[in-house]
Amino acid sequence: MARSAAMTAKPRTLYEKIWDAHVVERRDDGTCLIYIDRHLVHEVTSPQAFEALRLAGRTLRRPDLTLAVPDHNLPTTARVDAAGQRLPIADVESAGQLATLEKNVADFGVPYIDAVAAEQGIVHVVGPEQGFSLPGTTIVCGDSHTACHGGLGALAFGIGTSEIEHVMATQTLLLSPSKTMEIRVEGPLGPGVTPKDVILHVIGVIGAAGGTGYVIEYTGNVFREMSIEGRLTVSNMSIEAGARAGLIAPDEKTFAYVQGRPMAPTGEAWEQALAWWKTLPTDAGARYDKVVLIDAADIAPCLTWGTSPEDVVPITGVVPDPASFADPSKQVAAQKSLDYMGLTPGTRMEDVPVEHVFIGSCTNSRIEDLRAAADVARGRKVAPNVRQALIVPGSGLVKRQAEAEGLDRIFIDAGFEWREPGCSMCLAMNPDKVPAGERCASTSNRNFVGRQGPGSRTHLVSPAMAAAAAVTGHLVDVRTLEPVG
Amino acid sequence: MKPIRAIEGRAIPLGLKNIDTDVIIPAHYLKTITRKGLGRGAFETIRAQPGNIFDDPEYKGANILIAGDNFGCGSSREHAAWALNDLGLDAVIAPSFSDIFSGNAFKNGILTVVLPQAAVDRLLEVAKTDPISIDLEHQTVTTPFQDRFTFEIDPFRKHCLLNGLDEVGMTLAQGALISGFEAKMAAERPWL
């Protein structure tokens, strides 16, 4: 490209570059018909979209840009018997939804990873892992945590069933541009502070609706130095701050992560892709609609105390007093949260016992997450008061990798359950649920009322903190555990 | 979606105000995997009453519903429109509709006709014994008794309904534009 042209062009953000590269048609009112490069499909939100196509006699415009995998409904217990035969799914509605997906992908020619394939997993773990999700692409899925793929520098967001149908039929969506927000985190992260702690802290700062109407770009040394797994964790939870999508500029780490994956480009195509991806980072002088600066030194290992992801405190903190909030509506919400959570203001977070531990979900079920949890679990035992401690790898490939590293033995020896991949206890659509009134230290993304089962009480934490809670039986600062052996 | 020009047939003279989406389709029917079949749950609470209007043989096969003010108020569930489709309803006539329901109905090819209360009252009377005709092109509702009421409709929605265009259909009409974009991408970003 001519250098002079590049220098005279208006500086653009990463978001603007990806948007501009996907405009099929720009209308007078500013809405654009946007081309969708990648469409991920799962069993829960797709049935009516497939049915609509069928009723209208339509087909998928680009099945080759579509990938389906079941995850939400699948039990995480064994899927085949000793003879290798697939085991039936007891829940009739779940079984029906899964069977519907199988029929739909067969009827419409959609590439499909089935429930017993080694590559099966949570859709947002599978996409990056397979090289289906690529930098600079537009990625959609009928699931709000599609924001996850922004960790690779892709514009990725969740859509509804009517939009799923629209993408299936046209490979486009009619969209209005979002505002842009830069969240810049600079400085050294303290010991024991993980990507999960960073994003929880960010949500605590800007609030659960702070990102509404925006696409967030995470910048600063903290994200540059973060692993790809960590970036996926951060971008995943953009939606918990209200932003439909998050973005982290692709760099050498991103390229190294993508290269060689089954669906990633190779040869000359790889070189072409690489050259374009390198043009994507935000230009110097580009303007964001809003900028939030955060000092990395302010971030501690943290967790949620309430029923909104914005209810964040450091693990060294206490349950807040509702009266301490300036906003009267927040005071009321906080009191309701505390009643639901069974917590009293002033209680030290570290004094709160847990009966359940869940390590998994599209937020924290990648190999790095399991390694971090295993580092804590190694040589320890799950505390007697913990009724269930689940480790649910994000995909069959993550599971296999963990087993090759011996992580499964560490977990099993410590008293954790080692499960098959799926959404599991994140959302209570499958048999993994937290019983009413019981408390879970969970690496998932939502602590909403009833999210992990009716009456369940959720504390969102990092994998290391979840493992630490499991072996101590209460919420605990992972930095204070005595070395084992 | 099939184009709508004229809708003729018997109409169910429901006439009630504030029919909300929970009345149209209760929440426990939202677990379905299809848009079809929701008719069995449609107006469940009303249909639980013996002798209700929906199960009256007089209105068997009716394709129009006449209701009171604020039809479709409440939640955003598109299942409400799917349920009406499944009942075989092509149009609803009322003095007013909730915005959300109106949009959902439009996306599913159901015509919402807004008429003054007096006109609705007259149609409720006629519907007990005779069919009603809706002409979308000329924006009129007529009866066999020389009644003729005109209604307003958003020109864009009218165009879509007359031509059977849903949003997917409209975008598909730009297929050449999309194909052009794909050809450009195949050249510029062949790795996709």
- Which residue is associated with the tokens 């290269």? A259
User: Could you tell me if residue A423 is inside a domain?
Assistant: yes
Nearest to B177 among A24, A61, A272 (CB): A24
**In this predicted structure, what is the pLDDT of residue B188?**
95
Contact assignment for A273 to B1 by CB distance below 8 Å: no
φ and ψ of A267, to 5 deg: 60, -135
Q: Is residue A5 part of a domain?
A: no
- Count of CB atoms within 10 A of residue B14's CB? 21
- Same domain membership, residue A469 and residue A327: yes
Confidence (pLDDT) at A3? 47
Residue A6 forms part of a structural domain: no
Is position A4 within any domain?
no
A208 and A172, same domain (yes or no)? no
b/e sequence B24-50, b meaning 16+ C-beta within 10 Å? bbbeebeebbbbeebbebbbbebeeee
pLDDT score at A2: 44
Number of domains in chain A: 3
Please choose, from the candidates A181, A189, A271, the residue with its C-alpha nearest in 3D space to the C-alpha of residue A225: A189
Rounded to a whole number of angstroms, the distance between the first and last alpha carbons of chain A is 59
Chain A partners of B177 at a C-beta cutoff of 8 Å? 24-25, 33
CATH of the domain at A225: 3.40.1060.10
> Do A450 and A332 share a domain, yes or no?
yes
| A216: nearest Cα among A115, A269, A294, A326 | A294
Q: Is A92 domain-assigned?
A: yes
Q: Which helix (H) or strand (E) holds A381?
A: none
Q: Is A329 contained in some domain? A: yes
SS3 B185: helix
> Does A369 share its domain with A460?
yes
Q: List residues in chain A touching B: CB distance below 8 A.
A: 21, 24-25, 33, 35, 37, 47-48, 51-52, 55-56, 58, 61, 65, 93, 96-97, 100, 134, 137, 161-162, 165-166, 169-172, 174, 265, 269-270, 272-273, 276
Residue A113: what pLDDT?
98
CA dihedral sign of residues A323, A327, A332, A338: negative
Tell if the CB–CB gap between A24 and B189 is shorter than 8 Å: no
- Give the nearest partner residue to A162 out of B107, B172, B175, using CB atoms: B107
Query: Residue A28: its pLDDT value, please?
Result: 83
Query: Does A130 share its domain with A94?
Result: yes
Nearest chain B residue (CA) to A164: B168
Give yes or no: residues A169 and A193 share one domain.
Answer: no
Could you tell me the two tokens for A387?
A: 């009724």
Closest to A313 measured CA to CA, from A340, A338, A339: A338
A429: amino acid identity, one letter: M
**pLDDT of A7:** 54
SS (H, E, C) B99-141: HHHHHHHHHCCCEEEECCHHHHHHHHHHHCCCCEEEECCCCEE
Within a domain: residue A9? Answer: no
Q: Are residues A314 and A457 in the same domain?
A: yes
**Rounded mean pLDDT for each run of 10 residues along chain A, 485 residues in total:** 57 98 91 96 91 93 98 95 94 90 98 97 98 98 93 92 92 92 98 97 93 94 98 95 94 98 98 98 98 98 94 98 90 90 98 98 98 98 98 98 98 98 92 96 90 91 98 98 83
Do A290 and A334 fall within a single domain? no
* CATH at A467: 3.30.499.10
Q: Tell the CATH superfamily of the B6-164 domain.
A: Aconitase, domain 4 (3.20.19.10)
Per the structure, the complete domain to which residue A149 belongs is given by: 14-176+251-272
Domain ranges of chain B: 6-164
Q: How is chain A split among helix, strand and coil, in percent rounded to 5?
A: 40, 15, 45
Residues of B in Cβ contact (< 8 Å) with A170: 168, 171-172, 175, 178
